[in-house]
Amino acid sequence: MNNLLQKSGNYFDRYFSAKNVRKVELLILRFAVLAFLIHLFIIFLGNNFFYFKNLQHSYLKAIYTPFSFILFYEVFLLVIIIPKSISEFVGKQFEVITLITLRGFFHDIADLDLKNFININNPEFISLLYDLLASLFMLSLTILYYKIYHNNRKSEIFNELNNFINIKKLVSISMILILFLLSITSLYGWGAEIWGALQLNQNYPNPNTVFYADFFSIMIFVDVLLLIISFIYHFSFFTIFRNASFIITTILIRISLTLEKPMNYIVILIGFLFSIISFYLCSLRNTKKS
């Protein structure tokens, strides 16, 4: 068992070094640019040729596509950050759900009549306000979370055994494989739904329920697994409560992905606040103890 963990740790260090992660970043950005141009061309065909009339959309719709690639890269970073720190891992989850919220604005703005939508009684205008306000609140809470984390980083660090670090690296490798498998299957399923929507001239399906709902469902069990394994090396009531609050936040994020506005954002913000307050109180206790 120790030999397997050591091999997985070495494999992770070799293939997910900063240099290789940078290569993945550049590759995804190239795909983002290419997809952006292709999407613009498809919209051009839909807006100018009757044969492609089902593809007709505002050009603003194309902004959503490269942003989705950037969001996928953030999810990739979320997975490979697992071996570093559970607290950093949770902070990255905050970043991902904030970007998902911001992406929702780009998704919705393209479907609006920009000449007449600024009306307090227009539900589409209210929906965009929800996106913007929620993303600002999430950004503020994420900054607050990282400030608490960096101010109390020394007090929360304990001496992790090498085996525990290697276990987290093995979990990270497994999650990377799941991430790419889930991406392929979700892209295929979403593509089929998109094609059906185009044929029937219906609205596009919500991509958050296709990929991210499944991904965060898996993340819940990963959080629980890491929490249980961490007890072998470091056990205390305050650590249990802090990490359990992180799991609760992941569950609330998962639930929010299938709710309508503004309830989805209310649930997310409750999750953020619960984790931040729990993290602050436990960190404050550890600081006083030190």
pTM of the full structure: 0.83
Domain boundaries, the chain: 2-289
Q: What is the pLDDT of residue 195?
A: 65
Tens of pLDDT, residue by residue over 226-241, are: 888 877 777 778 888 8
Q: How far apart are CA 245 and CA 272, in angstroms?
A: 10
Q: What is the pLDDT of residue 205?
A: 57
Give pLDDT < 50 ranges for the chain.
Answer: 157-159
Q: How far apart are CA 100 and CA 116, in angstroms?
A: 26
H and E: helices and strands count for the chain: 10, 0
Q: Is the dihedral of CA 222, 13, 182, 65 positive or negative?
A: positive
Q: Which helix (H) or strand (E) holds 28?
A: helix 18-48
Distances (CA, A) of 37 to 41, 63, 104, 128, 190: 6, 10, 20, 25, 20
Q: What is the pLDDT of residue 159?
A: 47
Distances (CA, A) of 135 to 28, 104, 121, 140: 24, 10, 22, 9
Tens of pLDDT, residue by residue over 185-197, are: 877 776 676 666 5
Q: What is the pLDDT of residue 275?
A: 93
